[in-house]
């Protein structure tokens, strides 16, 4: 491996560039006059640098960049002034995109655990050739595939996949190996938002855009902290607030955050009681009679579903640690607290069997408006103020005043209101419910999909939307909002991909948590992780680390750096090319697709993830995968080889030749005359004359025709971010609104999503008429009750624990932790505590402490107050530091509908170490 920093020799005096070039560029963007001398300094500093349009590697904001290269190295990045998202600005992470690929320990060749030249599960990592690496992976993959079928193997993907990478992995697994065991870490951040949209609108992806942050009159932050997590959007918010004195920010959180500093009203609630607050707002709307009757009659129906849905945990304590078993037992039976009982119209202390846990959790049915009113009736201001107040040092009356202020804003028909959710509403044991409740508030008031008024789900990763959700890198999805369980959707995908009828597997694969649980229980044996560091990021990770090291399991980590997962879980490490070392495109949180070309070569033997998947596909023949296959539950996939032969497909051909290097792909040639002088590492490494990233993207483009239509590959590479739907060269900003969206077909509003648009009817408790009633063009206004968190503080584990992100670091710090300036700014993970809680435990600021949950013990430093001044009873930590494994403390309960883990609430004990 190369240890020197390869960019150091061509830094063109970075300090000079920063002071002159970047400062002058920022001044120009901001419209600030600069002197001739300053302009000349800027020009001199940038002499010899080639600037190419790019996209930021980090959060879901989707900032455009200009990337400076010189002598084959990236030497600088700055904001793209032509990108509407950031208008030339970057946050501190965005600025350091130029340094993330030049860490001293960058992986440059495959590494395998070996002893005496042979693979050894307990051996030390040694360099190997790509052939040796793939030989070993093939051996383990083939064995698991033959013995367990398509569910014996899987790939854990990423919201940081480029769109071509997402298409490649979906085709490799779903079309090639007929396995739906692909799930991304977007399951860990956005799945609840997806289910909320699916069930409410029948289609995924937001109806609003970032411009709404500036034109709204009231911004309500539900469980998100954009000052830390989306700094460029926060800059736009703060600028709008300063320009418009009437602009109000309501910050609804479980403890104060950096966003609190600009909030007009800070509402601190007890974890999980946001459900109760939303129902209070809904009750006020109904009681005040201010709902939009005409909008509701034309465009909405009311709905509900079962309450007894569990908490997304296993229904057995077989694999639980002894300390976990009391929490685990609630997956089967939950004793209702007094507040839960009132909220759900049941008896306090009632032991409720969770009969609808699992698949039935997502069932729902139509109810009347009178039933809806009955459902929200218990959520009075008095009740919710008592249940939801999260700051023990705030009076109930003061808390109630804030709730009433919030209700007044939502109930004012003339107000423009934008609600935003992110991890707080998604990483939630009832994440799908709280998303649906927020849509319900906006739909009742007729304030959805209107400029300045919507519920808008912010996105955490650069292409969680554009790749994971749209391309379909989930265990249940196909491209463009299609589902594997739908025969018509499978047929469409088979036609576009040129597959025999019946090839695709209709059984939903393993979701993220089920994959690592599968390693533990033996239902899956080979896991390949791509662009993720899951053994650091997953909750309750001590289980999965132990499972990874079981002799029968084989773990592959493809990454650019030796991450915690690589060093502690992997058997094989594959060196991956990073963002500007390959071609790609991301889709951000407002449906904006932005692409880039390859700008520099990957170091050493590092390869693109697309190349890895295509090269691996060469090792398996069609006849091995498209024969009859056994599935769990006694089901089988049919043999489609005769149908393949009838289509001219040779059963002896490789998956590469049939699934990837097909007739469509061969038409997309490399070199591409549009990109003279530009490299494509994937095409050059394959060496057979086609342009894989472009071909994969363009093949996927065929799925998007209609209301999901995206721009073509060349348009997104050359453009500065294009919002879809993109029809005849024009982007549609607001979906479902007939003033903007042609797919409304002349209606003022049309919620045209097709999914789950025929449902039975009933009352608040059950279905009374099983006949599905079609609901074309309608959105659903859901009643969802308050449910207590499955694990709450007690006398032993007496503090709440919350996790999140700081602006200096990205996720597990595998990139930002290698940037000296960012590491220096925030060098270690700490536990943020309230001063009173610390004092009661004899803990001072900076003390080393022992943090214990039912799942793990972690040691860290205490931080009292600081940038995260938490209230009494709750603590906070970020998870970027691999030396402080904070997520091992977390509970692996999930939202039962979305299967997204809840990182925001569990109980811990803190002691001085």
Please list the rounded mean pLDDT of every run of 10 residues in the chain (913 residues): 35 43 47 66 83 97 98 97 97 96 98 98 98 98 98 98 98 98 97 98 96 98 96 97 96 97 97 98 98 98 98 96 97 96 92 96 98 98 98 98 98 97 97 98 98 96 96 98 97 98 98 98 98 98 98 98 98 98 98 98 98 98 97 95 98 98 97 97 98 98 96 98 97 97 97 96 98 97 98 98 96 96 97 98 98 98 93 98 98 98 98 97
Residue 337 inside a domain? The answer is: no
Q: Which of 91, 197, 423, 815 is catalytic?
A: 423
Give residue 865's pLDDT. Answer: 83
Q: Mark whether 686 and 648 lie in a shared domain.
A: yes
Q: CA–CA separation, 871 vs 614, rounded Å?
A: 51
Q: Which of 73, 78, 93, 330 is catalytic?
A: 93
Q: Mark whether 454 and 545 lie in a shared domain.
A: no
460 tagged catalytic: yes
Q: Mark whether 457 and 470 lie in a shared domain.
A: no
Q: Where would I find the H helices in 122-190?
A: 130-148, 163-170
613 tagged catalytic: no
pLDDT tens sequence across 700-709: 999 999 999 9
3-class SS of residue 144: helix
Give residue 750's pLDDT. Answer: 98
Give residue 796's pLDDT. Answer: 97
Q: Mark whether 701 and 584 lie in a shared domain.
A: yes
Residue 736 inside a domain? The answer is: no
895 tagged catalytic: no
- Domain around 280: 198-307+363-461+755-782
Domain with residue 135: its CATH number is 3.40.50.740
Domain with residue 246: its CATH number is 3.40.228.10
Q: Mark whether 403 and 518 lie in a shared domain.
A: no
Give residue 856's pLDDT. Answer: 98
- pTM beyond 0.85: the answer is yes
Q: Mark whether 382 and 519 lie in a shared domain.
A: no
Neighbours of 776 (CB within 10 A): 11
Angle, alpha carbons 787-792-794 (nearest 5°): 145
How many distinct structural domains can be found in the chain?
4
Q: Mark whether 302 and 231 lie in a shared domain.
A: yes
Give residue 26's pLDDT. Answer: 47
Q: Which two tokens stand for residue 666?
A: 């061969």
DSSP 486: -
Q: CA–CA separation, 884 vs 803, rounded Å?
A: 13
645 tagged catalytic: no
Q: Which of 63, 83, 91, 189 is catalytic?
A: 189
The CA radius of gyration of the chain, in Å to the nearest whole number, is: 27
Phi-psi region of 378 (alpha: psi -120 to 50; beta: other; left: phi over 0): alpha
209 tagged catalytic: no
Q: Mark whether 159 and 216 lie in a shared domain.
A: no
Domain with residue 83: its CATH number is 2.20.25.90
Q: Is the dihedral of CA 611, 614, 616, 618 positive or negative?
A: negative
Q: Mark whether 401 and 263 lie in a shared domain.
A: yes
Give residue 46's pLDDT. Answer: 83
Give residue 887's pLDDT. Answer: 97
Q: CA–CA separation, 313 vs 633, rounded Å?
A: 20
Q: Which of 59, 63, 83, 190 is catalytic?
A: 190
Q: Which of 362, 460, 518, 681 is catalytic?
A: 460
Q: Mark whether 642 and 778 lie in a shared domain.
A: no
Q: Mark whether 513 and 597 lie in a shared domain.
A: yes
Boundary (domain end) residue, out of 663, 689, 718: 718
Q: Which of 331, 427, 437, 461 is catalytic?
A: 461
Q: Mark whether 877 and 809 lie in a shared domain.
A: yes
What is the DSSP track for 398-464? HHHHHHHHHHHHHH-TT--EEEEE-HHHHSSTTHHHHHHHHHHHHHHTT-SSBTTBEEEE--SSTTI
Give residue 480's pLDDT. Answer: 96
Angle, alpha carbons 713-692-715 (nearest 5°): 10
pLDDT tens sequence across 435-446: 999 999 999 999
176 tagged catalytic: no
Residue 317 inside a domain? The answer is: no
Q: Sort 414 into a burial class: Cβ within 10 Å, 0-12 / 13-18 / 19+.
A: exposed
- Who's near 443: CB < 8 A, 6+ residues apart? 200, 295, 296, 299, 300, 779, 781
């Amino acid at each position: 491996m190369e240890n020197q920093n390869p960019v150091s020799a061509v830094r063109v005096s970075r300090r000079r560039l920063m002071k002159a070039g970047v400062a002058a560029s920022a001044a120009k963007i901001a419209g600030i006059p600069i002197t001739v001398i300053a302009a000349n300094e800027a020009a001199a500093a940038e002499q010899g640098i080639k600037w190419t349009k790019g996209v930021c590697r980090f959060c879901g904001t989707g900032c455009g960049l200009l990337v400076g290269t010189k002598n084959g190295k990236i030497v600088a990045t700055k904001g793209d002034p032509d990108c509407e998202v950031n208008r030339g600005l970057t946050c501190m992470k965005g600025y350091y995109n130029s340094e993330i690929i030049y860490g001293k320990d960058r992986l440059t060749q495959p590494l395998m655990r070996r002893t005496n030249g042979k693979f050894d599960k307990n051996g030390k990592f040694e360099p190997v050739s790509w052939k040796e690496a793939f030989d070993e992976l093939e051996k383990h993959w083939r064995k698991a595939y033959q013995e367990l079928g398509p569910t014996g193997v899987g790939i854990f993907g990423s919201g940081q996949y480029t769109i071509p990478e997402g298409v490649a992995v979906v085709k490799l697994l779903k079309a090639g190996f007929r396995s739906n065991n692909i799930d991304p870490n977007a399951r860990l951040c956005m799945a609840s938002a997806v289910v909320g949209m699916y069930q409410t609108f029948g289609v995924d992806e937001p109806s609003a855009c970032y411009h709404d942050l500036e034109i709204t009159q009231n911004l309500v932050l539900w469980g998100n902290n954009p000052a830390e997590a989306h700094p460029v959007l926060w800059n736009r918010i703060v600028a709008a607030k300063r320009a418009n004195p009437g602009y109000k920010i309501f910050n609804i959180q479980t403890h104060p955050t950096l966003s609190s500093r600009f909030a007009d009203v800070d509402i601190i609630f007890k974890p999980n009681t946001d459900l109760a607050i939303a129902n209070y707002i809904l009750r006020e709307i109904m009681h005040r009679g201010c709902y939009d009757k005409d909008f509701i009659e034309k465009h909405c129906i009311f709905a509900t579903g079962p309450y007894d849905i569990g908490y997304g945990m296993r229904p057995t304590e077989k694999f639980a640690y002894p300390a976990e078993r009391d929490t685990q037992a609630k997956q089967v039976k939950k004793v209702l607290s007094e507040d839960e009982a009132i909220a759900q119209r049941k008896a306090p202390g009632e032991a409720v069997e969770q009969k609808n846990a699992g698949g039935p959790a997502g069932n729902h049915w139509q109810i009347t408006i009178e039933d809806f009113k009955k459902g929200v009736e218990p959520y009075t201001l008095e009740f919710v103020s008592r249940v939801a107040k999260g700051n023990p040092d705030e009076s109930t009356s003061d808390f109630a005043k804030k709730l009433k202020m919030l209700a007044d804003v939502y109930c004012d028909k003339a107000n423009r209101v934008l609600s935003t959710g992110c991890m707080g509403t998604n990483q939630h044991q009832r994440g799908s419910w709280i998303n649906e409740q927020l849509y319900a508030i906006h739909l009742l008031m007729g304030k959805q999909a209107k400029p300045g008024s919507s519920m808008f789900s912010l996105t955490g990763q650069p292409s969680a939307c554009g790749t994971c959700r749209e391309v379909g890198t989930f265990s249940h999805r196909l491209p463009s909002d299609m589902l594997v369980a739908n025969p018509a959707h499978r047929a469409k995908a088979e036609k576009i991909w040129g597959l025999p009828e019946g090839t695709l597997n209709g059984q939903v694969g393993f979701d993220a948590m089920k994959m690592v649980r599968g390693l533990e229980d033996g239902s899956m044996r080979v896991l390949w992780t791509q662009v993720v560091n899951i053994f650091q990021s997953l909750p309750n990770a001590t289980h999965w680390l132990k499972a990874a090291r079981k002799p029968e399991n084989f773990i592959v980590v493809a990454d650019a750096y030796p991450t915690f997962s690589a060093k502690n879980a992997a058997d094989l490490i594959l060196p991956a090319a990073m963002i500007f070392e390959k071609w790609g495109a991301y889709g951000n949180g407002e449906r904006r697709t932005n692409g880039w070309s390859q700008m520099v070569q990957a170091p050493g033997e590092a390869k693109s993830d697309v190349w890895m998947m295509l090269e691996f596909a060469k090792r398996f023949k069609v006849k091995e995968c498209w024969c009859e296959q056994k599935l769990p539950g006694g089901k089988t996939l049919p043999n489609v080889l005769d149908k393949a032969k009838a289509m001219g497909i040779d059963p002896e051909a490789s998956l590469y030749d049939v699934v990837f290097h097909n007739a469509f792909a061969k038409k997309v040639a490399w070199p591409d005359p549009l990109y003279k002088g530009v490299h494509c590492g994937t095409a050059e490494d394959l060496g057979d004359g086609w342009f894989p990233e472009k071909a994969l993207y363009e093949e996927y483009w065929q799925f998007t025709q209609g209301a999901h239509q995206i721009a073509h590959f060349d348009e997104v590479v050359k453009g500065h971010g294009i919002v879809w739907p993109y029809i005849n060269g024009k982007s549609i900003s607001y979906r479902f609104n007939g003033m903007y969206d042609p797919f409304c077909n002349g209606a003022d509003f049309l919620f045209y999503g097709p999914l789950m648009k025929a449902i039975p009817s009933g009352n608040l408790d059950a279905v009374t008429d099983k006949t599905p009633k079609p609901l074309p063009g309608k959105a659903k206004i859901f009643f969802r009750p308050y449910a207590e968190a499955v694990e709450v503080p007690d006398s032993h584990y007496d503090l709440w624990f919350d996790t999140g992100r700081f602006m200096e670091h990205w996720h597990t710090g595998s990139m930002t932790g290698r940037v000296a300036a960012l590491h220096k700014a925030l060098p270690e993970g700490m536990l943020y505590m309230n001063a009173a809680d610390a004092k009661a435990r004899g803990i001072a600021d900076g003390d080393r402490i022992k943090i214990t949950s039912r799942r793990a013990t972690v040691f860290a430093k205490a931080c009292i107050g600081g940038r995260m001044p938490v209230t009494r009873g709750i603590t906070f930590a970020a998870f970027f530091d691999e030396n402080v494994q904070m997520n091992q403390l977390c509970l692996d309960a999930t939202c039962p509908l979305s299967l997204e883990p809840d990182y925001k609430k569990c109980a811990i004990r803190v002691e001085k170490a």
